Amino acid sequence: MTGVRSTGYADVLARQSQILRDASGIDYHAFRRGRLEYDYEGLMASTGYGLEEIVEIQRGCKVGGTPLLELPNLTRLARALAPPGNGARILMKDEAANASGSFKARRASLSVWEAKRAGYPGVIAATSGNYGAAVASMAAMRGLACLILQETFDSRGVGQPEILEKGRACEAYGAEVWQLTVGPELFYVHLLLLEETGYFNASLYTPFSVAGIETLGWEIGREVVALTGRPPAAVLVTHAGGGNVTGTARGLQAAGCSETQVVGVSVDLRGLRMDSDRDFNRKSFTTGHTGFGVPFLLNPDRVDVPHNAARPLRWLDRYLMVTQGAVFYTTQLLAELEGLERGPTGNTSLTAALKLSQELPADDVIVVQETEYTGAGKHPTAQLTFARANGVKVIRGRPEDNVPGTSIAIPRDPADLDYEELDLERIRTGYLNGRLRHIGLVGPEDLTAAEVCYLAEETGVSEERCRALLHASMVR
């Protein structure tokens, strides 16, 4: 780096476009089309990697080809609770079998491969979750330095056991872990270190990261067809920032499963602010919750790249919410009925699957598309103990007894497992309203035909339906 540059907050953020371009080799602005449109498929193609090549790269670093497991005991449980003739078979893709113990290894594998190919000396990722361990694991295999930035502590210096567990996992792979307090410093420090080190930005939201997940949806589609002779009726995906939904859905499309419903599932944390020092330690899930899931549907570009390659609203057919208590209960069901101990966050979709199975015919197949490893800090006992220490009541009760930040109600019976469906039409209307505001329009009349077509793609609806939603979202 030549010359002396200011490291002040405002000055670093003013340089973010150049910093991010240097740290990925992607000129995001080259894909902009006018005031609104963006060449999304062009961005995805800019990685230069095809699906078969990604599969080969992943197999070379102990990623992919994970088992597709039948869950016969949980299926029998669902059928016992279902109306006659219902109770779809429940399958689970065991992503805990990947090198770092979660599906995030798929995201990290291609990013770290690209960093090595392009000659970067190391990689940086800002993440408090499984992705940090995944990047650290892949960097260890490729011989690259690795920095992981975690939003770990509140102002008291108290960190969540799950985040601390993941920090230890990163360090086990040889990464240097920077643990920060909740707030805006994470993005600032991320940019500052990218500029100072010249490392690759192994962000969750680059096209490399999202393309790496496509192999997961592709495997699921092909494996279910080989097993049953037809595509799955639904694939349930834990939804946070949108990469999991996007990559899995694109992979299902590549496998010819265009009729399979993509169902997003999040833990209901409504009422808690993710950037709040008070609320930070009053939640038991660091990802896969509505605090990420809903904002990323309304505005996916609130991330550490200029244009997020994760566009979940393009792909979701349904969006379901489950409670914290229900996920902890399902985690124990999985362990006791199927002999599989897996981390709670990955069981978010399984919680909804147990109810969804009861609503579908018994000859249908639904797939929970990922599991994650578990560990001392991620185990429900550690998380519930931490919740109590932070003033959250842990009780036995029904879903309505859950109040995020106040009480976690563990169900008394499997019949109490349920979900709440979010209205995707309202979310689409909110997204469109935001886009109109972004370009300074008070109504849709001045949009071009090409802009309406783009917005229809972004919201996953027909152009006709998009026009109706645009009128509904008119700013008054």
User: CATH code at 140?
Assistant: 3.40.50.1100
d(CA 346, CA 163): 15
Written as one letter, the residue type at 158 is: V
Distance (Å, rounded) from C-alpha 178 to C-alpha 184? 15
Which amino acid does the sequence have at 49? Y
* Contact criterion met (CB below 8 Å) for 452 and 463: yes
Say yes or no: 133 and 281 in one domain.
no
Cβ pair 408, 394 in contact under 8 A: yes
Rounded-to-integer distance, Cα 268 and Cα 291, Å: 8
Domain boundary among 157, 182, 205: 205
Q: Do 250 and 117 belong to one domain?
A: no
Torsion of CA 395, 398, 404, 406, to 10 degrees: -40
- Positive or negative: CA dihedral 439, 445, 449, 452: positive
Q: Name the token pair of 101.
A: 């113990």
Q: What is the DSSP letter of 149?
A: E
Q: How many CA atoms lie within 13 A of 376 on its CB side?
A: 5
**Token representation of residue 108:** 């990290």
Whether 16 is covered by a domain: the verdict is yes
Q: How far apart are CA 392 and CA 415, in angstroms?
A: 24
User: Does the residue 4 lie in any domain?
Assistant: no
Q: Answer yes or no: is 2 within a domain.
A: no
Are 135 and 225 contained in the same domain? no
- Are residues 39 and 138 both part of a single domain? yes
Q: What is the pLDDT of residue 462?
A: 97
Transcribe 200-226 into DSSP letters: EE--TTSHHHHHHHHHHHHHHHHHHHH
Q: Tell me how far apart the alpha carbons of residues 433 and 435 are, in angstroms, rounded to a whole number.
A: 5
In a domain, 1, yes or no: no
The residue behind tokens 């003739």 is 85
Q: What pLDDT does residue 1 have?
A: 44
Regions of the chain with pLDDT less than 70 = 1-3, 442, 474-476
Q: Measured in whole angstroms, how far is the alpha carbon of residue 10 from the centre of its chain?
A: 29
Look at residue 88 and tell me if it is in a domain.
yes
**What values do phi and psi take at 70, rounded to 5?**
-75, 140
Q: Is residue 3 part of a domain?
A: no
Same domain, 322 and 467: no
Distances (CA, A) of 290 to 153, 303, 321, 323, 428: 21, 16, 8, 11, 16
* 134 shares its domain with 234: no
User: pLDDT per residue over 57-73, tens digit each?
Assistant: 999 999 999 999 999 99
Write down the H helix ranges in 411-459: 424-438, 449-459
Query: DSSP string spanning 305-326?
Result: SSS-S--GGGT-SEEEEE-HHH
Tell me, yes or no, whether 196 and 71 share the same domain.
no
Distance CA 287, CA 284 (A): 9
Among 183, 205, 227, the domain-final residue is 205
CA-closest candidate to residue 167, choices 419, 474, 376, 372: 376
| Entry pTM | 0.96
Collect contacts of 252-256 with beta carbons under 8 A, ≥24 apart.
Answer: 252/217, 252/218, 252/220, 252/221, 253/217, 254/51, 254/214, 254/217, 254/218, 254/221, 255/217, 255/218, 255/219, 255/220, 255/221, 255/222, 255/225, 255/231, 256/221, 256/225, 256/231
Instruction: Indicate the pairing of strand 122-126 with strand 145-153.
Output: parallel
Give the distance from CA 363 to its chain's centroid: 29
Print the domain residue range for 433.
424-472
- Same domain? For 397 and 264 the reply is yes
314: in domain? yes
Q: Name the token pair of 32.
A: 């902009």
Domain count, the chain: 3
Flag whether 467 is in a domain: yes
- The DSSP secondary-structure symbol of 83 reads P
Do 40 and 83 sit in the same domain of this protein? no
Q: What is the full DSSP assignment across 100-115?
A: TSSTHHHHHHHHHHHH
Beta bridge partners of 92: 69, 368
Of 159, 186, 205, which residue constitutes the final position of a domain?
205
User: According to the model, what pLDDT value does residue 442 have?
Assistant: 67
- Do 77 and 129 share a domain, yes or no? no
CA distance readout (Å), 116 to 111, 190, 291: 9, 20, 34
364 and 222 in a common domain: yes
261 and 389 fall within a common domain: yes
The pLDDT value recorded for residue 5 is: 85
